[in-house]
Copies of this chain bind each other. A is one copy, B any other.
Amino acid sequence: MARVGESVGSGHRLGRRAIPTLKKITEAFEQFLHGQKLRLTKQRLEILRLIYATHKHVSAEELYDRLHGDGRASALRISRATVYRTLSLMAEGGFVQALEIGRDRGTLYEHTLGHEHHDHMICIECGRIIEFHDDELEQVQARAIKRQGFREVSHRLNVWGVCARCQKAGKSGSGGGPVSAERGRDQAGD
């Protein structure tokens, strides 16, 4: 049974910084499934491909929609249930990570392999999610946690505030600025 985050790093240790090819990722996934005595199905593969081809944070619903919108996928019907099941399976295996931005919408996911650990800043004006990484911060964090006698498996730092762009736009003042209109749709071209 896969452990929450430890499983990452047990089997599929492909590059920590190099961006792995889809082939490598697929192999790692295959290996993971095999280790768990689970099967490699078309659906799982398709979802894996899609989420690794997407360079933004996606919800299960969004994935589901896209799995249907695309022409190629039309041949393969993937149910909502399977999307959710697969997503949670991939989360266990460390292939994706749930974000848990305190949004109204559902959980967002991002792929993790070849994606160095990072934290998130969520702009309360425009809704954009910005990733950042800071070595010093990570170190101090790890030290602080260890100091508590806690053995860390994973952590998540979310910061809410106003992004640089919105600050410049001047909306960041005080009044009741309308908190953006939905989401910053930066649809990656896939």
Binds B, one of A26-34, A68-76, A109-117, A156-164: A156-164
Asked if A136 lies at the interface with its beta carbon under 8 angstroms from chain B, I say yes
Say which residue of B89, B102, B157 sits within 8 Å of A100 (CB atoms). Answer: B102
Measured in the bound complex, the distance between the Cα atoms of B136 and A142 in whole Å is: 12
- Closest CB-CB distance, A141 to chain B, in whole Å? 6
Instruction: Kindly state the interface size class of chain A when it binds its partner.
Output: 35 or more
In this complex, what residue of B is CB-closest to A2? B184
Asked if A167 lies at the interface with its beta carbon under 8 angstroms from chain B, I say yes
A154 to chain B: which residues have CB within 8 Å? 159-161
- Closest CB-CB distance, A104 to chain B, in whole Å? 11
